[in-house]
Amino acid sequence: MIEWSDTDLIMRDTVREFIDKEVRPHLDGLESGELSPYPFARKLFSEFGLDVMAAEAVKSMLDKQREGARRSGGLGGFAEQASMAAVMVSELAGVSIGLLSTVGVSLGLGAATIMSRGTPAQKERWLPELMTLEKIAAWAITEPDAGSDAFGGMKTYVRRDGSDYLLNGQKTFITNGPYADVLIVYAKLDEGVPGVDRRDRPVLTFVLDAGMPGLTQGKPFKKMGMMSSPTGELFFDNVRLSPDRLLGESEAHTGGDGRDSARANFAAERVGVALMALGIINECHRLCLDYAKTRTLWGKRIAEFQLIQLKLARMEIARINVQNMVFQTLERLKAGQMPTLAEASAIKLYSSEAATEVAMEAVQLFGGNGYMAEYRVEQLARDAKSLMIYAGSNEVQVTHIAKGLLAG
């Protein structure tokens, strides 16, 4: 893949029209938290028929499972339209990365984990409402003392209580956490095995519903960027979980313990960062070109100054590089290949740094105006920085890349 197809470009233009009409006029309300992102996400799904497509895909998958057909790990129809989905993601990211994150986490992490790990009964129980965005999911793994050390430092735990489990602990920085209807929670089995360190105890994955006794969903945090995405804490105080809430309904899941499902999600999430970075770069690029052509100093358009041209040229180089990473990934997905964790980490590291550099240069190009919230490059700079922390800090990506290289 060397360029967007005609169909992709039609999708891009249609998404831009929707964004201009339905999202841009309400950006201040979304950024302040005055407006909830969820009605906007549902309207997007409705406008493009994604809710109907999702409902039909889930129904088809569940019907096949009821008939005893081979279990499917995903919704194949969506994979075939990966490039169109990539266009939609990048366009949304350039305007409201927070709005995009609410949808991406709910579907790409929350629903996807149930789809890959759940039993047919669990899929039937939760997926229909999640995939259409009727309900919103949160994916909870990060803790106050276990950010980058997600598994080893995990303190949230479950203990067996008869046939049930009791869940205790705390999660933080959870996208959709304050308002999620369904919560996928990772916790350690707090029952020691001789010779096994606490850091290495099995990690189990559970599905909770909002309102369960002992579950508290904290208020949204105030953040530097991605402010249209509600992020908060979760508290668990002896939350009683029946066995049907354990994904796979077995502690010995065929796909390994919760670490394995989380790692698979990490790879997908980090590839997704490249799409978000591309959206931010594209929007900065567009805004800076327009501004450079119209802003005048000393009787000249600033586009005529060589230092301004250098900034624009570097933005174009970053755009080409990140877009090519996206194209390569899309080609591999079409061939049924997912980037390894090390490759996904490399993509995430480079694209997030490129987006942050471009956004900061955009602020500089706009000068004093760039520091004002009225000019959207200020928001883009704050949002871009989050990508260097989001989905695992860039420092941790270095470790994953090196491990991948040295493993051979």
DSSP letter for 363, please: H
Question: What pLDDT, in 10s, does the model give residues 370-393?
Answer: 999 999 999 999 999 999 998 889
Residue-level pLDDT at 81 = 76
Residue-level pLDDT at 69 = 52
Reference 359, options 301, 305, 281; nearest CA is: 281
% of the chain exceeding 70 in pLDDT: 95
Question: What pLDDT, in 10s, does the model give residues 339-362?
Answer: 999 999 999 999 999 999 999 999
Helix (H, G, I), strand (E, B) or coil at 249: helix
d(CA 156, CA 315): 43
Residue-level pLDDT at 66 = 78
d(CA 406, CA 299): 57
The whole-number average pLDDT for the span 310-321 is 98
Q: Tell me if 117 sits within 8 A of 253, measured CB to CB.
A: yes
Q: Is 247 left (phi over 0), alpha (psi -120 to 50) or beta?
A: beta
User: Per the structure block, which two tokens stand in for 224?
Assistant: 């530097």
Reference 212, options 187, 231, 234, 188; nearest CA is: 234
Residue-level pLDDT at 80 = 52
What phi, psi does 379 have (nearest 5°)?
-65, -40
Question: What pLDDT, in 10s, does the model give residues 19-40?
Answer: 999 999 999 999 998 999 999 9
Which pTM does this prediction carry? 0.90
* Residue 125 in this model has a pLDDT that exceeds 60: yes
Residue with tokens 């350690």: 188
d(CA 31, CA 54): 28
DSSP letter for 146, please: B
The whole-number average pLDDT for the span 292-310 is 96
**Do strands 231-241 and 215-217 pair parallel, antiparallel, or not at all (unpaired)?**
antiparallel
* Residue 266 in this model has a pLDDT that exceeds 80: yes
% of the chain exceeding 90 in pLDDT: 75
* Residue 77 in this model has a pLDDT that exceeds 60: no
The whole-number average pLDDT for the span 305-320 is 98
Residue-level pLDDT at 75 = 41
Residue with tokens 């945090």: 221
262, β-bridge pairs: none
DSSP letter for 185, please: E
Question: What pLDDT, in 10s, does the model give residues 183-203?
Answer: 999 999 987 666 677 777 889
State the pLDDT confidence band at 408, using cuts at 50, 70 and 90: low
Following DSSP, what letter does each residue of 12-23 receive, concatenated? HHHHHHHIIIII
Residue-level pLDDT at 354 = 98
* Residue 267 in this model has a pLDDT that exceeds 90: no
User: Per the structure block, which two tokens stand in for 236?
Assistant: 């668990």
Question: What pLDDT, in 10s, does the model give residues 223-240?
Answer: 999 999 999 999 999 999
Walk me through the domains of the chain, giving residue ranges and CATH numbers.
6-135 (1.10.540.10), 139-245 (2.40.110.10), 259-407 (1.20.140.10)
Reference 376, options 287, 312, 276; nearest CA is: 287
d(CA 223, CA 33): 11
* Residue 293 in this model has a pLDDT that exceeds 90: yes
24 by Cβ neighbours in 10 Å (0-12 / 13-18 / 19+) ranks as: middle
What phi, psi does 313 have (nearest 5°)?
-65, -40
Largest CA distance in the chain: 80
Residue with tokens 């409705």: 46
Q: Tell me if 122 sits within 8 A of 168, measured CB to CB.
A: no
* Amino acid found at 285: H
d(CA 44, CA 199): 42
Question: What pLDDT, in 10s, does the model give residues 54-73?
Answer: 889 898 888 888 777 544 44
Residue-level pLDDT at 295 = 96
* Residue 163 in this model has a pLDDT that exceeds 80: yes
d(CA 310, CA 288): 12
DSSP letter for 69, please: P
155 by Cβ neighbours in 10 Å (0-12 / 13-18 / 19+) ranks as: middle
